[in-house]
Chain A
Amino acid sequence: MEQHDIIPVVSLLAVLMPLLSFVLCMFFVPKSISGKVAVSSIAVSFIASCFVFFKIWNAGNIHIQHHWFTLGQTSWDVGLLLNNLSALMILLVSGIAFLVHIYSLAYMKGDENIDRYWGYLSLFCSSMLGLVIADNLLLIYIFWELVGFSSYLLIGFWRTRDAAVQANKKAFIMNRLGDLGFLLALMILYSQFGTLDIEKLFGDGGLFHLSQFTSGEWIAPLGHISYVWLLVCGFGFVFGALAKSAQFPLHTWLPDAMEGPTAVSSLIHAATMVAAGVFLLVRVSPIFDSTVLITIAVIGIFTAFMASTIALVQNDIKRILAYSTISQLGFMMLAIGIGNNGAAIFHLATHAFFKCLLFLCAGSVIHEMHYAKNKLDADCDHQDIRNMGGLRKMMPLTFVTMVIAALALCGIPLTSGYLSKDAILISSFEWATTRSFAAKLIPYLAMLTSWLTTFYIARLIFKVFYGELRIQGDKTERLIHEAPRFMLMPQLFLAVCSAFFLFSVNPLSYENTWLLKVFPGSVALERIHSYHTVIPALLNLFAVLIIYFAYIQYARKEKAMFRENTWLYNFALNGWYFDEFYHQAIVRPVTYVSKFSFSIDRKVIDGLVDIVGKSGVLLSSIAGWLDRKLIDGFVNLAGRAAAGLGNFFRSFQSGRIQYYLAVMIFVVLTFFVLRYFSPAI
């Protein structure tokens, strides 16, 4: 077979192996070997994606289609599109998924519903892989929904816990809201172009590029509508991406999604699913015009800033990391907004590695703390960083890998994170040079956010790993030991990936990364040389200072820096009160309306049914009365009439001679009368 034909089959294999594992784990395979089934299927998937990546990267696109169904006049096809972006994503997703599967073998060991876990995890991997290689927007939408659904299943995995159930409901509903926007955009595109195929729309010479925008009209092969609809379409896609990637205003589900197992959080809510939003926006980026792009950038930077302020004062280790994810996704949105798709994808890739690593290390810490807590019978939250401390002596390897990931998050040189963050920041400065004053604020805000990021992650590291362990008990330190081997191995591997050498030979300049070379920026940005040196230097200098400051505060002083009862502290602690606001503005009216309609249903509709029932009873009692009185009355009457008649005739035979005599005379008289008065006789 020609190589050209094998590749689509192999990529299909990568998608379908986890699906097979889902079916097997959920329905057929016993719990003991479900883990092995899942891990082996994702391993096969990973190997297949490696093959696809090396064949496709910079070697031309492959686009295979197959007829799916026909509705009336239109026919829909299903197919795969393998270009640079899909190849990179497929490798990334399957790689990270494989590592998380290995980690889960140790983390979820002993859980009773382990077969469900592997099933759901496999379903998720299959849908995510399908999403990145789908060739038309309808297929992407289908996989988008499937990914959201698997996320719902996994967040609420421990379904007996009320917090988990509330969280997965919230995640699913917010995702659905975003999907409304996605659907709207799909409809507009379809009505204009008659197809949803990505290659046809956005490829070279694609239909979208052929459409003209003149004097407020959008002229396309199939339609002729006002220009406003282009904006609506763009905003629709943006809205969908906002929900999936947890940006303002649909970001509140992600911190609550931390109720799921940590392995799930690391895979879905750090590296892959939340990246789907960014992926979609990059896929359909030709649609966005300047208004939409500015909006994306503003939303991105605002979310980044907001999330990092909230992360400053959180105390649950996973929530800090969740808000950090939101913040970094904001950076990626900013990159898309300023037109540098390549930087966005680059940051997505590096973020996938170091954020996943951060979550896995956090998982190890939580795992050990939980174990220690159970042994001591202590009553404390094992995820609260205020209860931790000094763990670097007991979990050295975890400490080292987590520090490497934290450095990558801060953007310290020699890490991959430095390269991608610099790409975004520098290009944002370049973008802002030609624009208004308000636009110039954006890069400065990005720098501030970056320093805040450094602060909160340093706080986390120092509070968890330095100082003294705050849980009291006999020989507590001896209870906590290093994480199991299966948990350590992925962490080590990811730590290696977080370093610079995976991405670029030059650790200090991002322009040489092989990744970026493939994605040309959508808007050509003038390279201003000074920016490329001043900004990184400034950024990193301050970052180091901040780290030192945090070290002094948290590792040495053991005293809270921020007073805990100020208004600003509470504002940040409660997530800028977005949850409260949504609860009051949306949840409560909806609940009220549903209670109201329930009461109507009960009173009016059940009332009607009751009335019908009662009237039925009434009618039947009337019928019964009628039956008793009239019909039985007739029967009785007949009986009594017969009795009366009988009694009457019986009285003739009384034995009284005078009576007999009277009858005889009566008969004689009758005879006389008839004889005299009637001519007949």
Chain B
Amino acid sequence: MTPEQIIFYVFAALVIISALLAVVVKSLVRSIFLFFVTLFAVAGLFVLSLGDFVAVTQIIVYVGGVLVLMLFAFMLSSKELLNTLELVKTRYSAVQNIPAIVLSLALFFILVFALVKSNVNQLDWINGGNHLSVSDNTVQIIGINLMTNYLFPFEVASVFLMMALIGAAHLARKDKAE
């Protein structure tokens, strides 16, 4: 077992465990925080895949942005919302879960099956293509690509963000005596 593999398995276990816990716990706060842990573990996995810039971006945007946004939205909403959140009924949850579990497992097996059958590891461009090495400067590559190959999506993404901003702001406005 190379250290690389050990790290991989540790981060993988972290992802899986925290994700599972996040979906199992009833309380919202706890699931948000477990989500937080999952995001960090995913970022670690990104680093392991030599995508360091993406990992950092994930931490900054996802953890620092999305997660914090959710926390603030949850915490700064009205009391009724909080109360409602606490009073989650658990009457039929045990029975209702079974179809969902079955479906999820079925999908998992299908995905794994497709994975195995398609023999992903032996693909030409994965085996023989130009791999990233550890000593590469990914930021530089990303920067160059962003301005040349992916310029259009870059611009569109900015417009999109503006749309989202305006839309969210409008949606969340307070209605004053309509």
Same complex origin of A and B: yes
**Chain A positions near chain B (C-beta within 8 angstroms):** 658, 662, 665-666, 669, 672-673, 676
Q: Using an 8 Å CB-CB cutoff, how does the interface string of B105-119 with A read, 1 for contact, 0 for none?
A: 011001001100100
Q: How far is the CA of A676 from the CA of B106 in the complex (A)?
A: 13
Do A665 and B107 have beta carbons less than 8 Å apart? Answer: yes
Do A676 and B99 have beta carbons less than 8 Å apart? Answer: no
Which chain A residues lie closer than 8 Å to B177 at the CB level?
none
Do A662 and B100 have beta carbons less than 8 Å apart? Answer: yes
Which chain A residues lie closer than 8 Å to B147 at the CB level?
none
Q: Using an 8 Å CB-CB cutoff, how does the interface string of B90-107 with A read, 1 for contact, 0 for none?
A: 000000000110010011
Q: How far is the CA of A658 from the CA of B100 in the complex (A)?
A: 9
Do B103 and A676 have beta carbons less than 8 Å apart? Answer: no
Do A676 and B107 have beta carbons less than 8 Å apart? Answer: no
Do B107 and A669 have beta carbons less than 8 Å apart? Answer: yes
Q: Which 5 A-B pairs have the closest CB atoms?
A: A672-B110, A669-B106, A665-B103, A662-B103, A669-B107
Do B100 and A669 have beta carbons less than 8 Å apart? Answer: no
Q: How far is the CA of A676 from the CA of B114 in the complex (A)?
A: 8
Q: How far is the CA of A665 from the CA of B99 in the complex (A)?
A: 11
Q: Dominant SS at the A interface?
A: helix
Which chain A residues lie closer than 8 Å to B117 at the CB level?
676
- Write the chain A residue with the least CB distance to B106: A669
Q: How far is the CA of A658 from the CA of B103 in the complex (A)?
A: 12
Sample (18) of A-B pairs whose CB atoms are under 8 Å apart: A658-B100, A662-B99, A662-B100, A662-B103, A665-B103, A665-B107, A666-B103, A669-B103, A669-B106, A669-B107, A669-B110, A672-B110, A672-B114, A673-B110, A676-B110, A676-B113, A676-B114, A676-B117
Q: How far is the CA of A673 from the CA of B105 in the complex (A)?
A: 13
Which chain A residues lie closer than 8 Å to B106 at the CB level?
669
CB distance from A661 to the nearest CB of B (A): 9
- Write the chain A residue with the least CB distance to B107: A669
Q: How far is the CA of A676 from the CA of B107 in the complex (A)?
A: 13
- Write the chain A residue with the least CB distance to B99: A662
- Write the chain B residue with the least CB distance to A669: B106
- Write the chain B residue with the least CB distance to A666: B103
Q: How far is the CA of A665 from the CA of B103 in the complex (A)?
A: 7
- Write the chain B residue with the least CB distance to A676: B113
Which chain B residues lie closer than 8 Å to A669 at the CB level?
103, 106-107, 110
- Write the chain A residue with the least CB distance to B114: A676
Q: How far is the CA of A378 from the CA of B92 in the complex (A)?
A: 112
CB distance from B110 to the nearest CB of A (A): 5
CB distance from B131 to the nearest CB of A (A): 31
Which chain A residues lie closer than 8 Å to B107 at the CB level?
665, 669
CB distance from B102 to the nearest CB of A (A): 9
CB distance from B127 to the nearest CB of A (A): 24
Which chain B residues lie closer than 8 Å to A666 at the CB level?
103
CB distance from A243 to the nearest CB of B (A): 106
CB distance from B113 to the nearest CB of A (A): 7
Q: How far is the CA of A576 from the CA of B114 in the complex (A)?
A: 131
Which chain A residues lie closer than 8 Å to B103 at the CB level?
662, 665-666, 669
Given contacts A662-B99, A662-B103, A676-B117, 15 further A-B contacts (CB under 8 A): A658-B100, A662-B100, A665-B103, A665-B107, A666-B103, A669-B103, A669-B106, A669-B107, A669-B110, A672-B110, A672-B114, A673-B110, A676-B110, A676-B113, A676-B114
